[in-house]
Amino acid sequence: MYTSEGAVSSEREEDVVFESAAELFGLLSTPVRLKIVSALGNGERNVSDLLAQIDTTQPNMSQHLATLYRAGVLGRRREGTQIYYRLQSERVAMLCRAVCTQVALELDSPSSVPPEDRLLRAGPR
């Protein structure tokens, strides 16, 4: 049984959970960052490799890599003049794969996913 103090503490803990989840979703809210996480799911890559896979500019790529690195999603190492990035958080990669796979299923075959189970309520943009 919760005391009034315990209930307040529990609400604060719940707030922290939702705030942390919102921060993670915010971090992953750009297509370029999702593409980076996906590309690094296949192993370590340098910036040139990532630019060959992801259509963006080098300064934009560097900005997104720095953001993901500062958040602890990516790790990095330097080899000569090259910086190699890797996924530091397999859980983030699993979350991205799960959501992107579900979205791809819905886009490829909307009728195969019951309306109540869809992530996408509207059609593709």
**Residue 13 confidence (pLDDT):** 86
Q: List the domains of the chain with CATH numbers.
A: 4-117 (1.10.10.10)
| pLDDT per 10-residue tile (average), the chain, 125 residues | 56 88 92 96 95 97 97 95 94 90 87 80 56
Separation CA 28–CA 2 (nearest Å): 36
